[in-house]
Structure 1
Amino acid sequence: MKFWQFALRNVIRNARAYFAYFLSSSFSITVFFSFAVYRYHPRLQHIQNYKETGPLFTLIGFTQFVIVLFSFFFLVYSIGTFLNVRKKQFGVLTILGISHRQLKRLIFLENMIIGLLSIFVGIQAGLVFSNFFLLITSKISGINGLYLYWPSEAIQTTVATFLILFTIVSIFTPALIRTQKIVHLLRGGIRGKKERSPSVIISIFSLLCLFSGYIFAAYPQSYITEKSLTNGIGLLIILAIIPLVTIGTYFLFSQASFLFIWILKKRRRFYMKKTNMLWISDLASRVRININMLFVVTMLSVITFTTITTLYAFNKYTKASILEAFPFPFTYVSYEGNILEAKHIAALETELRTDKFTYQKHKAIIYKDKAANEEIWIIKQSDYNILAKFLNRPQVQLTGHETYIVPRYSPIPLELLTNPFLKQTKITLQSNKKEFHIKETATKPIIPEDAYAYLIVLQDHAVDNEIPHLEPMTFYNFQVDDWENTMPLTKRILHMTTEDIKSVSPHTDQQGEQDKKVPFQIFTSSDELYVDKRWNVANFFIGTFLGIIFFMGAGSVLYFRMYTDLTREAEKYKTITKIGLTKAEMTCSATIQLAILFFVPYVIASIHTIFAIKFIQSTLSFSLLKEEILILGLFGIIEIIFFFLIRSFYIQKLSQHIKL
């Protein structure tokens, strides 16, 4: 038998242990390859500037980098775990005369065999699903005609990338097996460890870290203020949330968990009941061995749950977010002296009627001014109330020296934290130094956020008699039914206005000077919806793939630990059966221990996710509760199914070793 054949047989002999590792690696390669198939598509190479403008194309390079980086750490962790499990095999081989150099060569060959098989299977799976993948990416990117082709460049890139990755890992992983005494190798690397008392101080510290991170995430408004952002304290607290939760999570498993087990042992009535003593007494040992596994699985799960929940919500609420930023589908602002006003409004109405859209138009006069060094637009109360009625907003009733402030952005809490303008109780107009009391501040903008101006509502009498000398602007708002389907119309209007801009200022060289001479502005929603939808769908599509990779990695790590603990657990139960342990009691004890190792990371990750989403939600104008429940519930169901599959395999293997 040749040496490479011996390595191949070792891989086949340990196929069950390597299964989850092989599956996760193959899936990562499949996703990487699928993105490469899209990236190197011949049709995309001929689209001018598409690389700079296509959202999906832009994200793919970053995603492939993340996949490779994750795969590297996943391979190192997984192979290190397998090598520790196989120390007994290495001890036997050492007795039989294998040299340290040959042992390293054996480990290298085994890793490369698994790597080559993973690359082959991953590319084959990618080829099978490449047509389906191209159909989805074609719809997301808006590029038609992404036909199926032979992806030679994608294959070369994938093979080269992961071959280099597996080679690097295979070269350095033998260093994890240091020269040790044969006796220790034969014992499988398991040393008797005296159970240590948990550190109460570190346990309390871990809980304080977690609670601090949770409080900072749940109540950002308590520390994100103008002053805190100015002196940097608010930013430091935001940056400290992730380290606090990470440190707290690690010490929760490494210290606080043992304190909890110690408390269970002190409750003698519970501890001595049925098989409780069996699983509780062994739980500390299993947790100590699996500290790193529990921590890694928890953090990977948090990344997965938070990423997919957030991206799913953004994709779902794309239209709602556009309506927040652009309350009216079409807004036309005409400055004084605009000779194109009549032409543009007539053209817009003609296009709407031609495409059979039902619409309502409102015309108002707005005045430009400044207050507290901020650009403001002033509107009459009567005009504002008409707009508010169109949008089902509350009506405003003001006295002579009262004003109503409409913010520039939504949600207002974010703007309140960063801009002191909305925290005032009084406002003084720069033009005539008149002071007005701020009666109330709206919760949502009513003019397009791209206007970058606060809207100030004043009583009609105050506008007519106290500020008549300001430069007026004519403000046209169009409320259009089924506006999300007005993209073709929007393109035609924007093309016309762009050509008019060129004709108005044809000799302007600098963009800034040209903008100052443009006598109008037009704001449209459908093009913003189109762009945002593509970005959000692309983000969700790619984020979901990454989330699945992370979750499969977490599941694989769990599988590794179950498999590696199997031999030790079988020996333990074999000994206990001699004093009368029944099969039902063995099944009950093993199930409880497995359930703790499986579901504790999921529960802690879910709690982390709830507070992470709470923090993200504070910057949004909509709730993520439904999406959060859906994603956590979906992954919870997957976790339960996976648990019962592993439990079935685990109990079956224990039963084979133990005759009951």
Structure 2
Amino acid sequence: MNFTAFAVNNVKRNVKSYMGYFFSILISSSLLFSFNMFINHPDLDTSLFDDYLILTMKVTTIIIYVFLSLFVFYSASVFLKSRNKEFGILYTLGISKRQVKKMIFIENLVMNILASVIGILIGIIFAKIVLTVISSLIGVKPLKFYIPVKSIGVIILYFTLLSILTSNFIYFVVREDKVIKLLKGTQVPKSEPKSSPILAILCIILLVYAYFRAATVTESELVNRIVPVTFMVIVGTYLLFSQLSVFVIKKIKENKVLYKKKTNMLCIANLHYKIKDNTRMFFLVTITSAVAFTAIGSVYSYWMNILDQVEAAYPQAIFYATENGNLNRDNVYKDVNYNESDYRKRVDLLESLLEKDKISYEKVEGEIKTIVTESTGNTVKIIKESDYIKLSKEKRLETIDLHSNEVISLSKSNVSKLSINNKNNNVITMDNKSMKVKYADKSVMPAYYNAYVVKDDFYNNISLDCIEDKFIAIDTKDYMKTLGVIKSFEDVYKDEVGYKRLTKASMVDYGRIAYSVLLFLSIFIGLIFFITSSSFLYNKLYVDCQDDKRKYRNLNKIGLTYKEIRKAVTVEIATLFLLPYIVAVIHSAFALLALKNSLNVDVAKSSFLVMGSFFAVLLIYFLIVRQGYLNEIKEHLVD
């Protein structure tokens, strides 16, 4: 038997020890293949996507490749721990450094290539289903099945290079001068985990303060708070597992009544060591899970709220108006880009296209004036009360009574404009006249305008320099039917300089594509993070299982029953699975709360659905792993 056969046989004869590492690569390659197959599909029309979406897809690809590289390296380091004694024995028998390096390289090359090839085959088998699901998710025409030769080559090359780098990493760690340590393997007695009360208190302060900052953030503060709050959460999470959890368990152990009750001593003592030993794994799983929950939850929240957002921002199906130039405090600049006949021609075309498609509609025509307010120097748009009443009736909304010294704000964002130079947010000065501001609950104008309603006589007799524009507001019962009308109109009038077209169907269609692509990317990254995190747990549990088998066998000999052992094991594994999940859910809950408070997005339904789905999968995975773990430990035990 030559050395290559020895290395290959070593893999074949130790399938269980290699299984977790192998499946980590297999799942990673399968997911990566599916992602590459979609984004490189020849029939995928990327012209539907804005530049920022294409850039996001590229950045997502880089994140996936980098994260998978780190994941494989971490898996290799955990896998290495289970082979400490094996390498120690080989060095004792006289194996050379060159032979160790060759053996490690062959093993990694075999596992990486075999796992990546099987992962690609799995991806090809489920390719049609994956393409159909993704196409449906982002709302494009179902993509046809194809064999992505380029993606296959890229993935095999990627995992081959990764195997070379991993081999060098393992060889660097496993050196001949560590023979004694390797022979001892994981049997070196562990010192009792220690924690610092000061760092435990710092952990609580960091997390509580970070949560408070997240819960009280406003839209204007959101960007400035993201980085410091994220940093505090990351540091606080690490301290939570390395210091606070150890400190709390130590205090529980001091409660002798609780500690000595039934099998509590065994469970608590085991957790005391396991949480400290698995600090890095807990930290990585928590952060990656929190990122996954937050990313998917936030994008899905926007995706679910897109109709409400569009409905609030665009009251009518089609709002078409002239846009006649710019105005500032010192001068009036008019750039007349339309004439009355041109405007009428465009409006007539819109109506004829609606009638051609047999779409019943209601319309309101009116005027908008742009003026400068004396109190703030800001430009504002005003409409007549009579136009406001017609628009309100068309939307079946109640109107607000208006007196000569009052105006109605159709947008609550106008509060900030008023408060710049005016302490009283309920007063605005127009044409040297102070007017009391009332606020409408629902706007009858698109949010783009932030308009005020004034009395007709004030509108007609205003002495300020102003710009006057005309508009038509068209509404239908099913506004999505107007999408074809809008596209037909765009084919005739591609150049819209001097005009503003705000259409609800176009906004929904654009938002659906944009948010669907972002949702797909966030779900994919979330799956990568979640699956790799689960692999972290499996690899770590397998390493610990080899030691736990001996420990529980000895405890069984002195009288501990299998039922008591099963209870202790269940508590330990449940802690490994659920503790990072619970912390990640809390982190994500405050992140999504910040989103809700700052951007007024309903996140409750999406949060429950996303986190609940992950929990269901995690629970199934926990039950499977627990049963396999118990089956391993149960050997040679007496009931």
Q: TM-score, normalized by length of structure 1?
A: 0.87
Please say which of residues 531-540 and 54-63 is displaced more in the overlay: 54-63
Q: Does 1:78 align with 2:64?
A: no
Distance 1:562 1:480 in 2: 60
Aligned partner (choices 321, 329, 333) of residue 333 of structure 1: 321
Counterpart residue type for residue 482 of structure 2: T
Alignment deviations for residues 106-162 of structure 1 (CA, whole Å, 9 cap, x no partner): 222212211101210121122222333444555567765844333222222222233
Counterpart residue type for residue 338 of structure 1: E
Distance 2:366 2:136 in 1: 40
Alignment deviations for residues 491-545 of structure 1 (CA, whole Å, 9 cap, x no partner): 111222326x5xxxxxxxxxxxxx4xx3x32222222222221111122122212
Q: Which residue of 2 aligns with 1:8?
A: 8
Aligned partner (choices 357, 360, 368) of residue 359 of structure 2: 357
Distance 2:542 2:241 in 1: 21
Q: Which residue of 2 aligns with 1:270?
A: 258
Q: Which residue of 1 aligns with 2:208?
A: 211
- Specify whether residues 34 and 93 from structure 1 end up closer, same or farther in structure 2 by C-alpha distance, changes over 3 A only: same
Q: Does 1:315 align with 2:307?
A: no
Q: Does 1:492 align with 2:488?
A: yes
Alignment of 1:456-467 (within 5 A): 456-466=452-462
Please say which of residues 162-171 and 557-566 is displaced more in the overlay: 162-171
Distance 1:609 1:281 in 2: 30
Q: Does 1:380 align with 2:395?
A: no
- Specify whether residues 133 and 278 from structure 1 end up closer, same or farther in structure 2 by C-alpha distance, changes over 3 A only: closer
Quick check: 1:333–1:476 contact (8 Å CA) kept in 2? yes
Report how many residues are paired: 623
Q: Which residue of 2 aligns with 1:585?
A: 564
- Specify whether residues 52 and 355 from structure 1 end up closer, same or farther in structure 2 by C-alpha distance, changes over 3 A only: closer
Q: Does 1:259 align with 2:247?
A: yes
Please say which of residues 488-497 and 130-139 is displaced more in the overlay: 130-139
Counterpart residue type for residue 296 of structure 1: L
Alignment deviations for residues 541-576 of structure 1 (CA, whole Å, 9 cap, x no partner): 222122111101111111111111112212222222
Q: Which structure 2 segments of 5+ residues have no match? A: 325-337
- Specify whether residues 598 and 151 from structure 1 end up closer, same or farther in structure 2 by C-alpha distance, changes over 3 A only: closer
Q: Does 1:123 align with 2:120?
A: yes
Alignment of 1:115-194 (within 5 A): 115-136=112-133, 146-194=143-191
Q: Does 1:282 align with 2:270?
A: yes
Distance 1:17 1:314 in 2: 44
Distance 2:199 2:142 in 1: 60
Q: Which residue of 1 aligns with 2:432?
A: 433
Q: Does 1:652 align with 2:631?
A: yes
Quick check: 1:54–1:141 contact (8 Å CA) kept in 2? no
Match of 2:599, SS state, is coil
Quick check: 2:43–2:143 contact (8 Å CA) kept in 1? yes
User: Please, what is the CA RMSD of the aligned residues?
Assistant: 2.9
Q: Which residue of 2 aligns with 1:92?
A: 89
Q: CA deviation at 1:473?
A: 2.1
Counterpart residue type for residue 380 of structure 1: K
Q: CA deviation at 1:435?
A: 2.6
Counterpart residue type for residue 204 of structure 1: I
Match of 1:339, SS state, is helix
Q: Which residue of 1 aligns with 2:279?
A: 291
Quick check: 1:31–1:126 contact (8 Å CA) kept in 2? yes
Please say which of residues 582-591 and 453-462 is displaced more in the overlay: 453-462
Quick check: 1:425–1:437 contact (8 Å CA) kept in 2? no
Q: Which structure 1 segments of 5+ residues have no match? A: 502-514
- Specify whether residues 179 and 96 from structure 1 end up closer, same or farther in structure 2 by C-alpha distance, changes over 3 A only: closer
Please say which of residues 107-116 and 370-379 is displaced more in the overlay: 370-379
Distance 2:512 2:596 in 1: 20
Q: Does 1:542 align with 2:521?
A: yes
Q: CA deviation at 1:54?
A: 7.9
Quick check: 1:381–1:457 contact (8 Å CA) kept in 2? yes
- Specify whether residues 198 and 171 from structure 1 end up closer, same or farther in structure 2 by C-alpha distance, changes over 3 A only: closer
- Specify whether residues 479 and 126 from structure 1 end up closer, same or farther in structure 2 by C-alpha distance, changes over 3 A only: same
Aligned partner (choices 611, 617, 620) of residue 590 of structure 2: 611
- Specify whether residues 381 and 301 from structure 1 end up closer, same or farther in structure 2 by C-alpha distance, changes over 3 A only: same
Q: Does 1:245 align with 2:233?
A: yes
Please say which of residues 649-658 and 193-202 is displaced more in the overlay: 193-202
- Specify whether residues 659 and 180 from structure 1 end up closer, same or farther in structure 2 by C-alpha distance, changes over 3 A only: farther
Counterpart residue type for residue 405 of structure 1: S
Aligned partner (choices 389, 399, 402) of residue 398 of structure 1: 402
Please say which of residues 360-369 and 35-44 is displaced more in the overlay: 35-44
Quick check: 2:49–2:514 contact (8 Å CA) kept in 1? no
Match of 2:493, SS state, is helix
Q: CA deviation at 1:100?
A: 2.7
Quick check: 1:216–1:238 contact (8 Å CA) kept in 2? no
Q: Which residue of 2 aligns with 1:32?
A: 32
- Specify whether residues 375 and 495 from structure 1 end up closer, same or farther in structure 2 by C-alpha distance, changes over 3 A only: farther
Counterpart residue type for residue 446 of structure 2: P
Distance 1:137 1:649 in 2: 34
Quick check: 1:56–1:140 contact (8 Å CA) kept in 2? no
Quick check: 2:37–2:148 contact (8 Å CA) kept in 1? yes
Quick check: 1:24–1:549 contact (8 Å CA) kept in 2? no
- Specify whether residues 581 and 138 from structure 1 end up closer, same or farther in structure 2 by C-alpha distance, changes over 3 A only: closer
Alignment of 1:592-603 (within 5 A): 592-603=571-582
Alignment of 1:519-534 (within 5 A): 520-534=499-513
- Specify whether residues 428 and 310 from structure 1 end up closer, same or farther in structure 2 by C-alpha distance, changes over 3 A only: closer
Quick check: 1:426–1:437 contact (8 Å CA) kept in 2? yes
Distance 2:248 2:106 in 1: 44
Distance 1:364 1:403 in 2: 18
Q: Which residue of 1 aligns with 2:331?
A: none
Quick check: 2:371–2:465 contact (8 Å CA) kept in 1? no
- Specify whether residues 32 and 604 from structure 1 end up closer, same or farther in structure 2 by C-alpha distance, changes over 3 A only: same
Q: CA deviation at 1:387?
A: 2.6
Q: Does 1:638 align with 2:617?
A: yes
Distance 1:276 1:200 in 2: 24
Distance 1:210 1:180 in 2: 43
Q: Does 1:305 align with 2:293?
A: yes
Q: CA deviation at 1:284?
A: 0.9
Quick check: 2:138–2:512 contact (8 Å CA) kept in 1? no
Q: Which residue of 2 aligns with 1:564?
A: 543
Q: Which residue of 1 aligns with 2:473?
A: 477
Alignment deviations for residues 574-615 of structure 1 (CA, whole Å, 9 cap, x no partner): 222232111111111111111112111111111111101111
Q: Which residue of 1 aligns with 2:333?
A: none
Quick check: 2:267–2:572 contact (8 Å CA) kept in 1? yes
Match of 1:474, SS state, is strand
Please say which of residues 171-180 and 115-124 is displaced more in the overlay: 171-180
Q: CA deviation at 1:51?
A: 8.8
- Specify whether residues 389 and 31 from structure 1 end up closer, same or farther in structure 2 by C-alpha distance, changes over 3 A only: farther
Counterpart residue type for residue 351 of structure 1: L
Q: CA deviation at 1:352?
A: 1.4
Alignment deviations for residues 143-189 of structure 1 (CA, whole Å, 9 cap, x no partner): 65844333222222222233223322322232222444433212214
